[in-house]
Structure 1
Amino acid sequence: MKGLPATLRYENHVGAASGDFVILHGRFSGHGLPAAWVVADIVRMEGDVLAEHWDVIQDEATREQSRSGLPMFGDRFPG
């Protein structure tokens, strides 16, 4: 974590669990790149230990880039 900027922020939007699997949907911003990342983190737990991790990362779409006209995260587009 030392290499990450102090400005990095994470906002969790939703979490769900089924058996040993947990998924978290959130946004990373403040990482110094032009667009925030919308991320789905999927983990498999074994007892209290994280056994496996996968993620899906996508730049957050602007209003102009959104085909549906809806934001990817929350209820409004990034400012």
Structure 2
Amino acid sequence: MTATLEEKNTALVLKALDTLFNRKDYAKAEQFWSDSYVQHSQLVPAGREGLFGLVRSLPDARFEYDMVAAKGDLVWVHSRYTNSARSTALIGVDIVRIEDGKLVEHWDVLQDEATSSDSAGGYPMFGDAFPGER
């Protein structure tokens, strides 16, 4: 059975993020990101080297995903980013555009992960448990 474009793009984005953030395999990660990668983020420097440099500066940075959606050349990933430089995880929605099998553009919406005492709605922002209750 042949995978749809959305399935291929989802697999590509998840493998790329795991390779960079969790495996720290920068040489392999270069295969996933375009040389002309465009970064639309308040926290991440411009371009592929800006992103890779940020990850290098946070050697214990980790990426997890909870939900993923895709349509055409766009993939949305509900993400959690953790590292020892921050006491609170960042919860995000990453939007990635794919072109010719490469990540070419990225947008994100990021916020600190709420604890149960900080949550106005009483539900966790990521997964089925609050931080510290996992």
When normalised by structure 2's length, the TM-score is 0.54
| 1:14 corresponding residue in structure 2 | 67
Which has the larger Rg?
2
Give the distance between the partners of 1:34 and 1:24, measured in 2 at CA. 22
Q: Show structure 1 runs of 5+ residues with no match.
A: none
Worse overlay, 43-52 or 55-64: 43-52
Query: How many percent of aligned residue pairs carry the same amino acid?
Result: 49
| 2:79 corresponding residue in structure 1 | 26
| 2:126 corresponding residue in structure 1 | 73
Contact 2:78 2:92 (C-alpha < 8 Å) held by counterparts: yes
CA deviations over 1:10-57 (Å, ceiling 9, x no partner): 111111110111011111112421211101110111121222110111
Give the distance between the partners of 1:9 and 1:19, measured in 2 at CA. 27
Pairwise CA RMSD:
1.2
The structure richer in strand per residue is 1
1:48-59 pair list within 5 angstroms: 48-59=101-112
| 1:37 corresponding residue in structure 2 | 90
Give aligned pairs, total. Answer: 78
- What is the SS of the residue equivalent to 2:56? coil
- What is the SS of the residue equivalent to 1:2? helix
Give the distance between the partners of 1:45 and 1:26, measured in 2 at CA. 18
The structure richer in helix per residue is 2
Q: Show structure 2 runs of 5+ residues with no match.
A: 1-54
When normalised by structure 1's length, the TM-score is 0.88
- What is the SS of the residue equivalent to 1:62? coil
Which aligned segments of 4 or more residues in structure 1 are displaced greater than 6 angstroms? Answer: none
Give the distance between the partners of 1:54 and 1:69, measured in 2 at CA. 28
